[in-house]
Structure 1
Amino acid sequence: MHASSPLDGGPALFRLVRHWARQWAPDVVERFAADAPKAWTVPNLFVIQAIDGAAGDEVTVADVAHQLGIDRSVASRMVGEATRDGFVARSTSARDARRAVLTLTDAAKEFLAASKAHQRQAFDRLVGHWPKEDRERFAGYLSRLADDVLG
C-alpha cells in the first residue's frame, strides 16, 4: 500500500496508467473476447471512438487525427483499415467536394456498444465494492476529467 494524501492524485493517476499499460493492454490488444470478429482490433476501435466522439456533422480524417492525437497520415491509414474492415463509410462532403466525410456503419456501432459494455464491466470490477454514491461520484469525476482534457 502506498501512503499518500487525498490531494496526491497525480502520482496515483500515473501509477494506474502504468499498471493498465502493462496488465490490461496486452489482454485487449487484438480482441475483447476469443469469439469476437477478427476485425475487432484496438486500432479499429480507436477510429470508431474518434468518429463517434468528434464534434460536428461532418467528421473527416483530420478530426480523427485530432481526436487520437496523431499525425493525419497515420489517421488516414487507420481510417483506411477501418473502412476495409467494414466499420467506416466514406462519402463526399456537402461543403467541400475535396473532403471525405466519415460515418460509422452498423458493424461499427455494434463494436462500439460491445466496447462500452466491456469498459463498464472493467469499471465495475475496479470499484463495484465501493458504496453506490462513491462509484457515482468517481464516475462523474472521471467523465469530467475526460471532457476537460479531451474536449
Structure 2
Amino acid sequence: MREGHDGGPALFRLVRFWSRRWAGRASEELTGESRHVQHILVVEAVVTNASRAVAGEDAVVTVGTVAHQLGLDHSGASRMVRDAVEAGYLARAASERDRRRACLRLTESGEELLASARRWQRQAFDELTASWPEDDRRRFASYLRRLADDVGA
C-alpha cells in the first residue's frame, strides 16, 4: 500500500490527538466537572452491552462486561461502576439467574447523560467535518460506524 493511502498512521495520530482533548472537554460541557468522564465511559459501556443483550448475545450487563468493554481489569471497572451508581447514573440489582452477580442498568439520570453525550459527539463530528462536502461526511460516518461495529466497540 502506498504511504499516501495508508490509513493506519493517520488513524492512530487522530486517536492520540483526540483522546487527549475530548475527555475533559466533553465531561466539562456535559456535567460541569472534568472528572466525570468516567461516568460517560461506563454509561456507554452499559448501553453497548445492553444492546447486545437485546440481540441475544448475553442476558445481563455486569461489572465484568463493563470491564471487557472498557479494556480494564475487574477491580478498576468495579470502582468506576460503583462511582457511577453513587452518582445516580446506574442502578445495580441481583441477577435473576445468579444472585451473586449484579446486573447493571441505566437510571433516568444515566439516560440523560447518555443523550447529552451523544448530542455532544454529533456536534463534535459536525464541527470536525464542517468544511467537507455532505456526501463525504455521510460516507466517513458510515465507515466509522462500520469500523466500530467490526471491532465490537
Distance 1:109 1:22 in 2: 25
TM-score of the pair, normalised by structure 2: 0.86
Q: Please tell me the residue identity of whatever aligns with 1:46.
A: L
Partners of 1:24 and 1:48 in 2: how far apart? 16
Find the counterpart in structure 2 of residue 52 from structure 1: 47
Name structure 1 gaps, 5 residues minimum: none
Q: Aligned residue for 1:99?
A: 101
Q: Which amino acid aligns with 2:41?
A: F
Which residue identity lines up with residue 49 of structure 1 in the other structure?
A: E
The alpha-carbon distance between structure 1 residues 26 and 97, as it changes in their structure 2 partners (threshold 3 A), is closer
- Asked if the contact 1:50/1:64 (under 8 Å) is kept, the reply is yes
User: Corresponding residue for 2:56?
Assistant: none
| Pairing 1:27-106 to 2, within 5 Å after superposition | 27-28=25-26, 30-33=27-30, 36=31, 38=33, 41-54=36-49, 55-56=52-53, 57-106=59-108
Q: Secondary structure at the match of 2:29?
A: coil
* Long gaps (5+) in structure 2: 54-58
Give the conservation status (yes or no) of the 8 Å contact 2:63–2:81: yes
Q: How many residues align?
A: 144
Closer, same or farther in 2 for the Cα pair 1:103/1:25, shift >3 Å?
closer
- Other structure's SS at 2:61 match: coil
Which portions of structure 1, spanning 4 or more consecutive aligned residues, are displaced by more than 6 angstroms?
Answer: none
Secondary structure at 1:128 match in 2: coil
Percent identity between matched residues is: 50
TM-score by length of 1: 0.87
Q: Quickly say closer, same or farther: Cα 1:92–1:23, change in 2 above 3 A.
A: closer
Match of 1:15 in 2: 13
Shift of 1:58: 1.2
Post-superposition shift, 1:131?
1.4
Tell me, what secondary structure is at the counterpart of 1:98?
coil
Amino acid of the residue matched to residue 45 of structure 2?
A
